[in-house]
Amino acid sequence: MRRGAGAGAGAGAGAERGAGRGEGRRRVSAQDGRGPMVDNPWRRQLVALRGDLLKEMDELRSLLAGCCADVGGGEIWVGPAADAWHAEAQGRRTDILAQLGRLVPLVEAAIGTCAEKVTVGEAKSLQVDLL
């Protein structure tokens, strides 16, 4: 009996000594075990989308305003058909700009939910999702 008790005690002592030398310890990197961090590709795409939307809104605002003003002013086309076209074009211009204007806050909200930095593995997964 003593022999079995001694063997168990010796194994326990050896395990404790091994743990003292660094075996069985969890290694933690500088980023809390997450690895190196990189820019979030989803966030980068959303920021680019917001910029594109704002640019397109500015371009459409000026382009459509010019067309509507030319026809509505009677310089290019006159008559009842021109007036009807002008009214419809002006309404569509207003509607398009309003719809684009509603998209910008949605994109900004999505940007706010994305982390600025992600791990390399997460970034690779997100890039695959973008394809």
Q: pLDDT, tens digit, for every residue of 68-126?
A: 787 777 777 888 988 898 889 889 989 999 998 999 999 999 999 999 999 998 888 88
A 10 A CB-CB count for 37 gives 16
Asked if residues 42 and 130 have their Cβ atoms less than 8 Å apart, the reply is yes
What pLDDT does residue 31 have? 52
Query: What is the reported pLDDT for 131?
Result: 67
Tell me what pLDDT residue 15 has: 44
Angle at CA of residue 56, ends 68 and 112, nearest 5°: 135
Per-residue pLDDT at 32: 57
Query: Positive or negative, the Cα torsion across 21, 25, 31, 37?
Result: positive
* 12-71 pLDDT, tens digit each: 444 444 444 444 444 333 455 468 899 999 999 999 999 999 999 999 888 888 877 877
Q: CA of 38: how far to CAs of 2, 51, 109, 125, in Å?
A: 59, 21, 21, 13
Is the distance from CB of 114 to CB of 43 less than 8 angstroms? Answer: yes
d(CA 4, CA 12): 12
Domain residue ranges of the chain, discontinuous segments joined by + = 37-130
Question: Judging by beta carbons within 10 Å of its beta carbon (0-12, 13-18, 19+), is residue 68 exposed, middle or buried?
Answer: buried
